[in-house]
Amino acid sequence: MKFVIALFAPPHSPAARRALRFAEAVLAGGHEIVRLFFYQDGVHSASANVVAAQDELDVAAEWSRFVSANQLDGVVCIAAGLRRGVLDAGEAQRYQRPAANLAAGWELSGLGQLHEAAQQADRLVCFGGQ
């Protein structure tokens, strides 16, 4: 089956870890991940600037590794990212902000990418919630 996995929660949220373990199990089960889409506070889970405590799981780093290792299409919603201060180099320059902090493996793009993926996918599974 083809999956789209959407994350709406920051890396310190239990949902971020749950989504990652689910995504790993999707691939382990022989299924395909069409796209990962990070929205709302999920954009923080694609931040390169998160410093997890020594005794805590570094979920943002694990997500970045997972996307790269499996060459997945990882998209962070640009509007949600801007609102929350997760920017790539282009946006940091455009808005004259001091730092670009989008982690490697992720791309900023619009909600159209979520819809495009959902059109291709058999299952859309969302994780997160305030």
Residue 7 backbone dihedrals phi, psi, to 5 degrees: -120, 130
Q: Is residue 26 a contact residue for other proteins (CB under 8 A)?
A: yes
28-67 residues in contact with other proteins (CB under 8 A) are 28-29, 31, 39-40
Closest C-alpha to 76, from 14, 11, 2: 11
Q: Is residue 6 a contact residue for other proteins (CB under 8 A)?
A: yes
Q: What is the DSSP letter of 42?
A: G
Q: CA torsion, points 126, 18, 39, 89, in degrees to nearest 10?
A: -150
Among 22, 58, 100, 107, binds other proteins (CB under 8 A): 22
* Cα within 13 Å of Cα(27), Cβ side: 16
Residue type, 56: E
Q: Is residue 24 a contact residue for other proteins (CB under 8 A)?
A: yes
Residue 87: CB atoms within 10 A of its CB come to 24
Q: How far is the CB of 68 from other proteins (least distance, A)?
A: 21
| Residues labelled as active-site residues | 77
Q: How far is the CB of 48 from other proteins (least distance, A)?
A: 23
In the complex, which residues of this chain contact other proteins (CB under 8 A)?
1, 3, 6, 8, 14-15, 18, 21-22, 24-26, 28-29, 31, 39-40, 79-80, 83, 110-112, 114-116, 118-119, 121-130
